[in-house]
């Protein structure tokens, strides 16, 4: 009987501790997401500065667009830092309205990014304008590819665990940034080697449907993530 009582007591203690463990796990994920966003902020400051300066110096519309994309990513990361820090302060009392508001902001930035990419690509096709070769552009876009892969992969994983539409939208922006990095890098090399001015614009247009879908989900708060 004593053994049975001990087992019941242990099971009761385990049951009582389960919600707290879940809560602690969630806060750990939120803290992990916050670190990812701080890393995003730091990288985007560098990326935006280098890309914009290189774009102006090389008269490169695509590099300038890449720099503008970095600025939008910077704003999105700032929104997520606000949202995640608020949850860390409030803990389990974190209001769903804040998640919805952050999702709307992230979705709006994603719509802005999509519009900018589409407009820049169409303008490039209309004017038959590619970008001039830029060593600084090659270096920053080449470094951005693995960085964006790392950020997007980890943000998406954490977004699924904590059920955050806002974080998922921000991860989609990191995916877009990585894709654009590849497009600009390939286009810079193609421009140098064979004068293929159209590669960057066509590649950028291919990601527009993906961005629109992610923007709509973030704005509407669709069930893309699970609590």
Q: Has residue 77 been placed in a domain? A: yes
CATH number of the domain bearing residue 39: 1.20.1510.10
Q: Has residue 171 been placed in a domain? A: yes
Q: What is the rounded distance in angstroms from the CA atom of residue 13 to the CA atom of residue 3? A: 15
Q: Has residue 10 been placed in a domain? A: no
- Per-residue tokens: 134: 């830029």
Q: Has residue 160 been placed in a domain? A: yes
* Domain coverage including residue 204: 26-220
Asked if residues 29 and 156 have their Cβ atoms less than 8 Å apart, the reply is: no
Q: Has residue 199 been placed in a domain? A: yes
- Per-residue tokens: 124: 């490039």
Q: What is the rounded distance in angstroms from the CA atom of residue 60 to the CA atom of residue 66? A: 10
Least reliable range by pLDDT among 17-21, 28-32, 43-47, 118-122: 17-21
Q: Has residue 11 been placed in a domain? A: no
Q: Has residue 89 been placed in a domain? A: yes
Mean pLDDT estimate for the chain: 79
Least reliable range by pLDDT among 45-54, 150-159, 188-197: 188-197
Query: Regarding predicted confidence, which is higher, 140 or 120?
Result: 140
pLDDT (tens digit, 9 = 90+) per residue, 42-66? 999 999 999 999 888 877 767 877 8
Asked if residues 178 and 144 have their Cβ atoms less than 8 Å apart, the reply is: yes
Number of structural domains the chain divides into? 1
Residue 10: enclosing H or E segment and its boundaries? Answer: helix 2-57
Q: Has residue 15 been placed in a domain? A: no
């Amino acid at each position: 009987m004593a053994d049975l009582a001990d087992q019941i007591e242990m099971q009761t203690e385990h049951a009582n501790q389960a919600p707290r463990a879940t809560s602690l796990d969630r806060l750990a994920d939120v803290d992990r997401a916050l670190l990812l966003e701080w890393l995003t902020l730091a990288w985007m400051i560098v990326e935006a500065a280098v890309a914009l300066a290189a774009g102006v110096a090389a008269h490169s519309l695509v590099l300038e667009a890449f720099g503008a994309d970095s600025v939008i990513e910077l704003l999105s990361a700032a929104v997520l830092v606000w949202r995640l820090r608020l949850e860390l302060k409030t803990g389990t009392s974190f209001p769903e309205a804040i998640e919805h508001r952050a999702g709307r902001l992230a979705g709006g930035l994603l719509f802005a990014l999509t519009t900018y990419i589409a407009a820049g690509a169409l303008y490039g096709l209309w004017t038959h304008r590619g970008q001039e070769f830029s060593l600084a552009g090659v270096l920053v876009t080449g470094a951005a590819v693995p960085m964006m892969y790392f950020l997007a992969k980890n943000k998406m994983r954490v977004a699924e665990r904590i059920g955050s539409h806002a974080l998922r939208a921000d991860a989609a922006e990191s995916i877009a940034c990585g894709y654009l990095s590849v497009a600009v890098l390939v286009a810079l090399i193609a421009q140098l080697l064979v004068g293929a001015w159209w590669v960057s614009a066509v590649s950028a247009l291919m990601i527009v449907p993906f961005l629109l879908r992610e923007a709509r989900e973030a704005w509407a708060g669709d069930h893309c993530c699970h609590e």
